[in-house]
Amino acid sequence: MSEIKNNEASPAPAGGASGAEKDWAEAKAAFDNLKSKKPRPPKPHTAVTIAVSSRTLFNMVEERKVWEQEGLERYVSYQQEHEEQPLKPGAAFPFVKALMTVNTRLRELYPEGEELFDIVLMTNNHAQVGVRLINSINHYDLLIERFCMTGGKSPIGYLKAYMTNLYLSKDSDKVQEAIEAGIAAATMFTPDMETELSETQLRVAFDGDAVLFSDESEIIVKQHGLDTFFEHERKNENKPLAQGPLKCFLEALGKLQKKFYAKNERLNCPIRTYLVTARSAASSGARVLKTLRSWGLEIDEALFLAGAPKGPLLQKIRPHIFFDDQMFHIEGAKELGTIAAHVPYGIGQKYHKGKLIEQLAKKS
Amino acid sequence: MDPQSDCTLVTAVSCHDIFDLQTGQSDSSPLAKGTAFAFIKAVQSVNERLVKLSEKQTLLFEVILLGKDCEEQAKSKIFDSAKYYDLEIGKFCFCSKEKFERTLQENHVKLFLSSDRDDVHSALKAGVPAALLCQQADQQVQNQLKVLFSGDLIGLTEDSTEYLKDLGFNDVQIHNFKAAKGRIQEFAMLIGEMRRRFGCEDSPLHTILMTVWGSRDICATALKTLRAWGLDVDEAFCLAGAPCTPILTVLQPHILWDDGLHNLKET
């Protein structure tokens, strides 16, 4: 998977380097002089940029119905009519609040730091809806200063321009496009019931195969069965797996975690990462842990389920977001109140509950 | 409703932008296309669509060509090339460098476009609304005229002038900045009216608001101000200090209303 950002400053577009630096210096001066104590957004190429769509940040189900039933023009006027009414929180809202908490802690420890979360609102919406979105952001006092309202155009070009580390949307087509363009992305789902989440610690849970790692092993399971899979994993225990679409995001989280460790805050770190995999520890777990080690990445908790359902365990963990490539697991998580995000990558997309989707279609 | 005569959006473009006058040309071949070519073609398709909607349409673009210190030989080449490319140019104005600003004023130019920042700046100083003409990466692709407005300029209110003082601008500069905002208004209103002739989708005219260093509240103020002027923009961006070049590369606007601040700071 291509990495959008490195730790060091990424090369600026030709001729744009001094222009970009100048733009940035002026903005820095402007914000530093602002009378209000609102924190300044970080520099794009050192920040961990998370782009959220309007429908993941806010609950726009009612509004969406207006668009579907009455068309675009009516939808835009409807939004304008309700401009002063703040929208209700959406699936990504708790995640965004948790990101803000981490930023506050980071700013306490590193007042001049540029390595922070940067939350960008990336929406297909028409700019006129923007006023309601800004009013809603103000209402909840969210730390979102950057946004793109593309008025119907695809956001992919802008995601790249903003150096996005993670893109969350309700639209699986856009998510697919983003992943194909090398940007970590996932389709968010609203859980069937509400869960109380930590307000002091950001918790992110990842599936292993086809999320953090490539789908190479999953292909073996699907095509040759479990026994072949176990043998293959044992034989290749010391050969790291290839990267998956969300590896870079885990890496970005790890980079921020290290900043807390450096200040002796390991026990009180406001970021916690979890691996929740269907692999079993004994027969196929070692390769996973060794791969992470070879990448220089740490994961706080690795949970091997050996095929057991993920829902109950996730209920205990209560992550602000859980990434998985298989809809079966997403649905299981959703049912028990976990905020789940589907990563449409790899061989898992062609299967449903272990059966090839084409065959299912033929049968019915 | 505006009086009929006021409806034409007279846009002046420098002949140096329409054609490439530098490279040597043989007598028979037309001049090479310049930066403004894509703009003029896009404007022509807007006009076509407006006329399709209503034959008696008065709210149209009128492009006039402005030539500063052009030699006689060049003038005839310019006429011929314009004809060759089927460019709808309402007027050809040739003048000296000294009379340049006066020519703009006399022709009631509602917008002067140039790829030369200094020219844009002098026009603004002379009270003529002026904006930057952008180099298009791909001359062929555009069938939509894209106009980009500065949210920093439009979102400016009485309260936010304190903010400018903090940045180090003096009263004269702040006054010029406010004046620049006033000049955008007429143009924005006409564009707004034109834009309203088309629906949300499939419009030949596309408007964008970009706030480069203002906060989201400045962006919201800009959106509401434009709405009050009758312009509902299609796309909006708030960069909060992020470099704008990558976004502009994706957007590819034809017209860019600079926030004036950069210009002013250089003086």
A31-75 tens-digit pLDDT: 555 444 456 677 777 899 999 999 999 999 999 999 999 998 899
CA distances from A7 to A46, A254, A256, A291, A351 (A): 7, 12, 11, 21, 37
Are the beta carbons of B163 and A31 separated by less than 8 Å?
A: no
Angstroms from B262 CA to nearest CA on chain A: 10
Percent of chain B at pLDDT exceeding 70 = 85
Residue B21 · residue B122 · CB < 8 Å = no
- Is A155's Cβ below 8 Å from some Cβ in B? no
- Asked about A207 being catalytic, the answer comes back as yes
Q: What pLDDT is recorded for position A122?
A: 95
Q: For residue A346, which phi and psi values (nearest 5 degrees)?
A: 85, -175
Q: Which of A207, A209, A215, A325 is catalytic?
A: A207
Question: Could you say which residues from 73 to 112 on chain A have a Cβ atom under 8 Å away from some Cβ of chain B?
Answer: 73, 76
- Is B165's Cβ below 8 Å from some Cβ in A? no
Q: How far is it, in rounded angstroms, from Cα B189 to Cα B183?
A: 11
Q: What is the pTM of this model?
A: 0.86
A-chain residues within 8 Å CB-CB of B241?
23-24, 27-28, 30-31, 40-41, 43
State the alpha helices, DSSP H only, in A112-238. 130-139, 156-161, 172-180, 216-224, 226-235
Q: Which domains does chain A have, with CATH numbers?
A: 48-189 (3.40.50), 202-345 (3.40.50.1000)
The partner residue sitting opposite A158, judged by closest CB among B219, B234, B247, is: B247
Tell me the two tokens of residue B60.
């149209």
- Is A13's Cβ below 8 Å from some Cβ in B? yes
* ipTM of model over 0.95: no
The partner residue sitting opposite B234, judged by closest CB among A30, A73, A151, is: A151
Residue A320 scores a pLDDT above 70: yes
- Taking only the tens place, the pLDDT of each residue in B167-196 is 566 777 777 677 777 778 888 998 999 998
